């Protein structure tokens, strides 16, 4: 456990995060863990306490040794990158507040994180999920709510947070809907007639009379539906249907993109519909589509002596 001068430096660094930067307790705990382990490693690796002088003399080779240690310990490249980000913040603070500048930690590069291709569900699986949700609760209005929500995720490419942010005044849903995505950035998305009809059916069965400023998708007690309940409904449906764990509410958004791409949609249009800030984010769907084409080719191609 970090102690001595290194421990005192870490405590002052975290105190500044909690005070001037108003970081959350969760963030502070993560920084305490990542930077503390870094200081412990450098103390053992150098054979001397990781005080100001030692930290100012950290070399590129020592940074590489620490990063290799993280991966040897079983950390994923993503977690190692997060730890490096915390250490860089600590070293920036050391330079500004303590005059102990070190170039090597700030110049260190995070290990490459392999890109994860989204795993959309097929159109048939999406329909099956929605049908199961429509009959998956003893309260008819809750079953209709879950089906309407999943239909909207699939039919409009919404993030679950975007769908649950809708209010009663947004319904009946129009043919196009103005959505505020990440960073409050607005975009216009088309709403399929099936999604509009599903929301109408849910509202017809709803036993409450919410005002215009009330949430569109309500929980059993009348508050805004919690995302975890929507995810639970999806988990129940995929378990009953034997679908993989990757069939999540967000997977329906991926399905929206890949189905559009398969139907001839261009990436720029899909980028706008999904609300991606960068085209590179949308381009991962070309990989999904190519993977699907190759899988179909492999399944259909005659092999060996046929």
Write out the H or E segment, with its range, that includes residue 286: helix 284-300
Write out the H or E segment, with its range, that includes residue 189: strand 186-190
* Residue 38 known to be catalytic: no
Give yes or no for a cis peptide into 172 (omega within 30° of 0): yes
Residue 230, class by beta-carbon neighbours within 10 Å (0-12 exposed, 13-18 middle, 19+ buried)? buried
Token code pair at residue 111: 């290990």
Long-range contacts of 56-65 (CB under 8 A, 24+ apart): 56/94, 56/100, 56/101, 56/102, 57/102, 58/102, 58/104, 58/105, 59/104, 60/104, 60/107, 60/108, 62/104, 63/104, 63/105, 63/108, 64/108
* Residue 159 known to be catalytic: yes
Interacting residues of 267 by C-beta distance below 8 A, sequence separation 6+: 261, 279, 282, 283, 285, 286
Active-site residue among 37, 159, 168, 259?
159
* Residue 250 known to be catalytic: yes
* Residue 21 known to be catalytic: no
Active-site residue among 37, 196, 253, 254?
253
* Residue 88 known to be catalytic: no
* Residue 182 known to be catalytic: yes
Active-site residue among 169, 178, 182, 232?
182
Of residues 35, 19, 195, 208, the one with CA closest to residue 105: 35
Asked whether 17 and 28 are in contact (CB, 8 A), the reply is: yes
Residues annotated catalytic, as ranges: 159, 182, 250, 253, 276, 285
């Amino acid at each position: 456990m970090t102690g001595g001068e290194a421990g005192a430096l870490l405590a002052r660094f975290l105190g500044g995060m909690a005070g001037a930067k108003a970081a959350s307790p969760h963030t502070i705990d993560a920084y305490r863990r990542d930077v503390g382990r870094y200081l412990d490693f450098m103390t053992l690796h150098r054979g001397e306490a990781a005080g100001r002088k030692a930290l100012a003399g950290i070399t590129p080779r020592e940074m590489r040794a620490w990063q290799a240690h993280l991966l040897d310990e079983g950390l994923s490249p993503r977690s190692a990158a997060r730890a490096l980000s915390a250490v860089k913040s600590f070293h920036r603070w050391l330079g500004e507040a303590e005059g102990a500048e070190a170039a090597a930690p700030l110049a260190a590069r995070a290990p490459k994180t392999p890109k994860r291709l989204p795993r959309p569900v097929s159109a048939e699986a999406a329909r099956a999920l929605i049908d199961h949700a429509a009959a998956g609760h003893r309260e008819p209005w809750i079953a209709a709510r879950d089906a309407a929500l999943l239909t909207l995720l699939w039919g409009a490419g919404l993030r679950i947070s975007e769908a649950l942010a809708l209010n009663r005044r947004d319904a009946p849903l129009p043919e196009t809907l103005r959505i505020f995505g990440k960073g409050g950035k607005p975009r216009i998305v088309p709403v399929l007639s099936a999604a509009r009809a599903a929301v109408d059916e849910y509202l017809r069965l709803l036993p409450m009379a919410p005002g215009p400023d009330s949430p569109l998708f309500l929980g059993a007690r009348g508050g805004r539906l919690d995302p975890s309940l929507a995810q639970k409904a999806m988990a129940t449906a995929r378990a009953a249907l034997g679908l993989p764990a990757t069939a999540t509410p967000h997977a329906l958004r991926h399905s929206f993109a890949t189905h559009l791409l398969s139907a001839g949609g261009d990436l720029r249009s899909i980028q706008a519909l999904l609300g991606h800030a960068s085209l590179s984010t949308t381009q991962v769907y070309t990989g999904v589509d190519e993977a699907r084409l190759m899988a179909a080719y492999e399944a259909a191609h005659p092999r060996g002596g046929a």
